[in-house]
Amino acid sequence: MKLHIITIGQPKLDYAKLGFAEYLQRLQHYHQVRVTHIADKHNDADHILAAAGSSYKIGLVIEGKQHTSQELAKFLEFKAQSGQELSFIIGGPDGLPPEVVTAADYSWSFSQLTLPHDLAMVVLAEALYRASTINAGQPYHR
The secondary structure element, H or E, covering residue 68 is: none
The domain limits of the chain are: 2-136
pLDDT value for 89? 98
Name residue 2's beta-bridge partners: 32
DSSP string for 92-136: BTTBS-HHHHHH-SEEE-S-SSPPPHHHHHHHHHHHHHHHHHHHT
pLDDT value for 142? 60
Q: Band of the pLDDT at 141, cuts 50, 70, 90?
A: low
DSSP label at 41? G
CB 2 within 8 A of CB 108: no
State in words which class domain 2-136 has: alpha beta
- Cβ partners under 8 Å of residue 93, min gap 6: 117
Burial category of 142 from C-beta neighbours within 10 Å (exposed 0-12, middle 13-18, buried 19 and up): exposed
pLDDT tens digits along 93-139: 889 999 999 999 999 999 999 899 899 999 999 999 999 999 999 98
pLDDT tens digits along 27-82: 999 999 999 999 999 999 999 999 999 999 999 999 999 999 999 999 999 999 99
Residue type, 82: S
